[in-house]
């Protein structure tokens, strides 16, 4: 992996440099386009919420001999003639039936009717009932969790980095990740289930973690040797991002590998809905989070700080010296 090393060396020394800060206007335009797009997607393709959020009853018939979907509707209607049913074949061999909410008694009867219709044991029919309050509770709790988490993070990062501007940049980057990930989800037509919500919450943690690592290097470059470096503030930030680029790439690959493994297995081996839902949101989120740290959070931080009088005057000095040196040579 000599080439990888060399790439790393060049990034470290500044020989190779990607203009994360220099071209930030372009990155911001792209980011805004992505966010706006993600917000618009649900208008065209409404976000699908799983039964946990809408309430209802769900039955799964495991591996029946026939996967005729009509059989299921007929069986349900034999118990509750007016029920609306949504029958899908899950992973090619199981039948999943979602209906309106049913009473306990009806649930038992429908289970029995389904088992009978498909000629399987009663044990092979699983049923679940979700009251409408459930999804509401989860959503409310999640939003509270999000708010409290963001507030605490803002505080901790501001204390650690000694500037609230890093907190602000990190959290804007985080919201960017969240909106885009949900946008991708909606675009692909994936259902938002409680498991997916867990995934989204994990992405928050991951995204902030990723941003913190890069920001720590920025802090180092802009404070520890910033004064003598002969670089403007923006250049120091950019160098830090480039210096941690190999780490960022390796991290997202290594973090995505196990999650990808779950996805892969889940897609071929059926019934692991929870695992697939969690891993899908995390997989998308990891990629978006890496992008967002590099192209949104770091340039944003540089933008926030550049107009501070102290930094402005220093940058001006560096630029003047640079001009003078060019003239000297």
Residues 116-175 within binding reach of other proteins (CB under 8 A): 123-124, 126-131, 133-134, 137-138, 141-142, 144-145, 148-149, 152-153, 156-157, 160
Q: Is 190 in the site for other proteins (CB under 8 A)?
A: no
**What is the full DSSP assignment across 77-90?**
HHH-TT--EEEEEE
* Choice between 30 and 90, CB closer to other proteins: 90
8 Å CB contact between 239 and 221: yes
* Choice between 34 and 72, CB closer to other proteins: 72
* Choice between 36 and 156, CB closer to other proteins: 156
Interaction with other proteins in 196-255: which residues (CB under 8 A)? 197-198, 201-202, 204-206, 208-209, 212-213, 216-217, 220, 228-231, 235, 243-244, 246-247, 250-251, 253-255
Q: Among 31-39, 80-88, 103-111, 180-188, which window interacts with other proteins (CB under 8 A)?
A: 103-111
Q: Is 325 in the site for other proteins (CB under 8 A)?
A: yes
What is the rounded (10 degree) CA torsion for 13, 14, 20, 23?
170
Cβ neighbours of 182 (radius 10 Å):
23
Q: 85 forms bridges with which residues in the sheet?
A: 99
Cβ contacts of residue 199 below 8 Å, gap of 6+?
277, 278, 279, 280, 281, 282, 285
Q: What is the spatial distance between Cα 8 and Cα 249, in angstroms, rounded to a whole number? A: 11
Q: What is the spatial distance between Cα 322 and Cα 329, in angstroms, rounded to a whole number? A: 11
Interaction with other proteins in 47-86: which residues (CB under 8 A)? 52, 62
**Residue 246 Cα distances to 18, 242, 260, angstroms:** 12, 8, 20
Interaction with other proteins in 14-33: which residues (CB under 8 A)? 14-15, 17
Q: Is 97 in the site for other proteins (CB under 8 A)?
A: no
Q: What is the spatial distance between Cα 171 and Cα 253, in angstroms, rounded to a whole number? A: 23
Least Cβ distance, residue 185 to other proteins (angstroms):
17
DSSP state at residue 102: -
User: Tokens standing for 195?
Assistant: 């498991």
Q: Among 35-43, 81-89, 182-190, 316-324, which window interacts with other proteins (CB under 8 A)?
A: 316-324
Among positions 8, 173, 234, 299, the unique one binding other proteins when judged by CB under 8 A: 8
* Choice between 85 and 243, CB closer to other proteins: 243
* Choice between 40 and 325, CB closer to other proteins: 325
């Amino acid at each position: 992996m000599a080439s990888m090393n060399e790439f790393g060396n060049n990034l470290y020394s500044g020989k190779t440099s990607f203009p994360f800060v220099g071209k930030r206007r372009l990155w911001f335009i792209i980011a805004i386009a992505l966010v706006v797009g993600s917000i618009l997607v649900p208008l065209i393709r409404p976000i699908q919420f799983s039964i946990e959020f809408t309430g209802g009853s769900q039955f799964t018939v495991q591996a029946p001999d026939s996967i005729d979907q009509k059989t299921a509707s007929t069986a349900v209607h034999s118990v509750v003639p007016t029920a609306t049913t949504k029958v899908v074949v899950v992973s090619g061999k199981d039948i999943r039936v979602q209906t309106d909410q049913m009473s306990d008694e009806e649930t038992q009867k429908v289970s029995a009717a389904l088992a009978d219709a498909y000629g399987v044991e009663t044990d092979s029919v699983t049923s679940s009932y979700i009251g409408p309050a459930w999804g509401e509770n989860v959503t409310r709790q999640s939003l509270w969790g999000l708010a409290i988490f963001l507030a605490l993070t803002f505080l901790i990062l501001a204390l650690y980095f000694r500037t609230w501007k890093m907190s602000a940049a990190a959290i804007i980057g985080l919201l960017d990740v969240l909106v885009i990930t949900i946008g991708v989800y909606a675009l692909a037509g994936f259902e938002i289930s409680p498991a997916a919500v867990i995934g989204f919450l994990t992405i928050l943690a991951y995204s902030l973690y990723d941003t913190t690592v890069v920001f720590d290097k920025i802090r180092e470059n802009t404070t520890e040797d910033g004064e003598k470096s002969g670089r403007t503030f923006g250049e120091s930030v950019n160098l830090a991002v480039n210096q941690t680029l190999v780490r960022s790439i390796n991290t997202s690959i290594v973090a995505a590998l196990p999650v990808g493994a779950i996805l892969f297995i889940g897609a071929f081996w059926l019934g692991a809905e929870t695992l697939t839902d969690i891993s899908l949101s995390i997989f998308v989120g990891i990629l978006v989070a890496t992008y967002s740290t590099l192209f949104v959070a770091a340039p944003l931080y540089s933008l926030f700080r550049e107009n501070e009088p102290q930094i402005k005057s220093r940058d001006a000095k560096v630029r003047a010296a640079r001009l003078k040196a060019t003239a000297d040579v």
